[in-house]
Structure 1
């Protein structure tokens, strides 16, 4: 078998791995809306993290891969950025349809381009600038911001996309020598610490309120218990498949397949809640996917 055939086979396997990951994520992200009925965001992240840690430890033993960080400062910075991104995204899932939350988070390739140009001072070219404009237009179309009823909630997923982009830039720069298990464990530990602090704040300093973001600790899990286990196991499998996808195929080829979440997410939303996106949301999703794919293809050509 030639090198070219091997590369094509690896790319195909990587694409299938990414599609599998997006199918799982489409389900478990919809589960957050079900979990939010019984417990709050911070209890959800804390309990999910506690469930994930033994599985990460078992994976470390099975793969004979150490979890200890090469640079604790770099891993901490990345973990904080991704934790903020995921908290904003999960928080938005309790209030917004999944296609709107996904649209905000999946602007991250566009934000990566913007931050690379501004912070790292790297040239981006006219085509990539056009991709940013198209992606931003798609975000506006999906979110449908109404100045008369504008709520901070609608901006949460887009802000999550910014912090997720910061985390991904850190992955390829200051965290390049870290293993996938180290980076994943860093995120889980950071989410546990942040969630403990938030729960303590809500319990002792501020009065706990109603709703996903302000709800304190509760012992009555209701149906959230089962979905928490599904979310924790699904998260690790999904992230593992994403990592495997990028190991098997060229990143610029694999990245556009992440937009399959725009299919699996709304599909499971329809299956669980009977919700379907409208034509305007579908148009916006297409614009965001086109912009992200264009950025990935231009990166491929540059290489």
Structure 2
């Protein structure tokens, strides 16, 4: 893997984080119109045709080369993302976000446990530093922690493992096919869960049953879906060509862009402690980026 490839992967991850941090600002507006699972179903209905169109435009098929491996990867990534969204229905965003940003640590641990990678002490310290910086930005309330706090941590673990599988199992899949698999899986999960909310309805974003479809809901969901299609495709390509631990740390840039969009869109300023945390995240990412590739146990790797 060349330095140029690592630079490309970093740029893709940064671009994806910038897009996701923008479109996530509008999820609260979507929640005023419908529940989480209805939103995910419509987002999937919008996203899949967009992915097919994107594939035809760049002359890349959405059909996977290895159905089983893509299904496995899609299941882990989708489950992680859905657990993250589910946690937003019961926990403050800070706690849910802190759990999801544990993904890089899970990438390192699972790289060692599953694929026999030699991770090294400096890389461990750099990623833990990035996680500490994320906590400084998010500042979850320790006094309010409950059993539900396991949800975002589980989301981080599942998402991290899914991203690790992207390179180890799905390196020869196109980023469009990888994105298609995630959206299709999320749609299927959400279809089942919207049936559950019909039987046991509630008032929260997580438990709200099917609501009348408004024009505002449709265009907000289409906007979110279009941005997500682009971002998920970019991040899938980043994990295909880059080192998982490296790319995962660059995803921390989501916090930098979130601070920017919060100020630009809503006039919400970022305080000094948060900027210190963002600085730690950036330094951690630069340290990891300059470290050599992680050697894998060749016997543990599955090649196509």
Who is 1:173 aligned against?
168
What are structure 1's unaligned runs of at least 5 residues? Answer: none
Distance 1:109 1:14, change over 3 A: closer
Q: Does 1:148 align with 2:169?
A: no
Provide the rounded CA distance (Å) in 1 between the counterparts of 2:17 and 2:61.
Answer: 27
Who is 2:210 aligned against?
217
Provide the rounded CA distance (Å) in 2 between the counterparts of 1:177 and 1:78.
Answer: 13
Who is 2:120 aligned against?
125
Provide the rounded CA distance (Å) in 1 between the counterparts of 2:8 and 2:132.
Answer: 33
Q: 2:24 aligns with which of 5, 13, 29?
A: 29
Q: Please show how residues 96-245 of structure 1 align to structure 2 within 5 Å.
A: 96-97=92-93, 101-152=96-147, 154-204=149-199, 207-221=200-214, 223-242=216-235
Who is 1:262 aligned against?
255
Native 8 Å contact 1:14 1:246 kept in 2: yes
Deviation at 1:156, TM superposition (A): 4.0
Deviation at 1:273, TM superposition (A): 4.1
Deviation at 1:83, TM superposition (A): 0.7
Query: Across the two proteins, how many residue pairs are aligned to each other?
Result: 294
Provide the rounded CA distance (Å) in 2 between the counterparts of 1:185 and 1:208.
Answer: 30
Provide the rounded CA distance (Å) in 2 between the counterparts of 1:299 and 1:221.
Answer: 52
RMSD: 3.3
Q: 1:60 aligns with which of 55, 63, 70?
A: 55
Native 8 Å contact 2:127 2:249 kept in 1: no
Provide the rounded CA distance (Å) in 1 between the counterparts of 2:242 and 2:113.
Answer: 29
TM-score (norm 2): 0.80
Provide the rounded CA distance (Å) in 2 between the counterparts of 1:239 and 1:195.
Answer: 18
Give the 3-state SS of the residue equivalent to 1:119 in structure 2. Answer: helix
Deviation at 1:213, TM superposition (A): 1.1
What are structure 2's unaligned runs of at least 5 residues? Answer: 297-304
TM-score (norm 1): 0.80
Distance 1:268 1:242, change over 3 A: same
Provide the rounded CA distance (Å) in 1 between the counterparts of 2:77 and 2:246.
Answer: 23
